[in-house]
Each structure stands twice: as C-alpha cells, then as structure tokens.
Amino acid sequence: EHPPSHHRTCIIALADEMDDELRAELQDLGADDSLGKPISLSELIYKIQKLSTGGRDVKPADYASAFLRQIRSLPDTESPDFFTAAATLGHDMMGTTTVISNNRLSELAQRLNDAALRGHAREVANFLGQVCSELTKLTQASESARQV
C-alpha cells in the first residue's frame, strides 16, 4: 500500500490537467483522500476514464505530463525514500498502460519498478532517463497534434 500522500500527489498532478468540472466530479467520487479513503492511481484513472466519456477525454499526454512532474519531484538519489518513490512511480505507470498503450513505456515502467525494488541506483537512473524521453515524446506528439 502506498502512503496516502503519494496518492494525493498523483491526484494533484492529474488534477492540474483537468478542467474544473471534471475535478469537482472526481472529488464527489471520493478521489479526495480527505475522506480518509486513499485511492490508487489506477482506480483514479479508471474513474477519470469513466467520467471523461461524458466530457473531455483524458489523453495519454495528460498522464505523460503528470508523470513527468512526478519524476521531477522524486526525492534525491541519496534519500532513503528514493527507491520506494521510484518503485511506486514504475508501478503507477504500469497501471496506466491501457490509456497510454505504449509498449516501450510499459516495459520501461516494469524495469524501473524492478530495479527500484532491488535498490539498483544506476539502473533506476538509466530507466528514469528512458522513461522521461518516452513521456516527453508523448507530450510533444500531443502538442503538434493540437497545432494542426
């Protein structure tokens, strides 16, 4: 189980990408853990998908930018929390692969999670770098699609 504060970060990161209406609906659904109900990112994503069919679609790029923000806020590699945070990130990304449907990213998320669980700093750094470049491609693809 991830600490509720982690879910809070994910919720906030994803909420940045949403309009106010969608954010309000999510809070009604209990995604806000102030109700004492921590919610996993994959549950949250499921709820977002369910909601978004009636409103604005949540695009892979929304997740990509949320994950990029999460990577930027990872603790320092020297921190005792670093590996837990990196493993959690990998795990959360594995939970979003249905939305992102990017095989390369799924594989990297799995490897990131494994390396972090084993406590291999160099491997974690390597996979984080590759994950960042895949996520950046996703956000850029979406930017160029918007300009067309």
Rounded to whole angstroms, the maximal C-alpha distance in the chain is: 45
Q: Are residues 41 and 69 in the same domain?
A: no
Instruction: Tell me: do 80 and 141 sit in the same domain.
Output: yes
* Same domain, residue pair 139 and 69: yes
Site of tokens 């009636």: 54
Domain that holds residue 30: 4-52
Using one digit for the tens of pLDDT, what is the confidence trace for 45-84? 656 655 555 544 556 777 787 788 888 888 888 888 899 9
Q: Give the confidence band of 104 by pLDDT, cuts at 50, 70, 90.
A: confident
> Which of 24-38, 63-77, 95-109, 127-141: highest mean pLDDT?
127-141
Mean confidence (pLDDT) of the chain? 71
Same domain, 48 and 112: no
For residues 91-119, give the mean pLDDT. Answer: 82
- Determine the pLDDT at residue 72: 85
φ and ψ of 32, to 5 deg: -80, 115
Is the per-residue pLDDT at 33 higher than 50? no
Long-range contacts of 123-129 (CB under 8 A, 24+ apart): 124/77, 124/82, 124/83, 124/86, 125/77, 127/90, 128/71, 128/74, 128/86
Q: Which of 52, 70, 87 is the last residue of a domain?
A: 52
* Alpha carbons 134 and 127: distance in angstroms, whole number: 11
Q: Which of 141, 10, 5 is nearest to 68 (CA)?
A: 10
Radius of gyration of the chain (CA): 15
More confident residue, 107 or 17: 107
pLDDT in tens, 42-56: 566 656 655 555 544
Helix axes of 82-94 and 103-118: crossing angle, nearest 10 degrees: 150
Number of domains the chain contains = 2
What is the average pLDDT across 121-137? 90
Residue that wins the pLDDT comparison between 24 and 66: 66
Does 90 share its domain with 123? Answer: yes
CA distance 97 to 42: 10
Task: Tell me the mean pLDDT in the region 108-116.
Answer: 93
Q: Assess whether 65 and 47 both reside in one domain.
A: no
Q: Are 47 and 80 found together in one domain?
A: no
Mean pLDDT on 17-37: 54
The answer to whether the CB of 99 falls within 8 A of the CB of 63 is: yes
Co-location of 138 and 82 in the same domain: yes
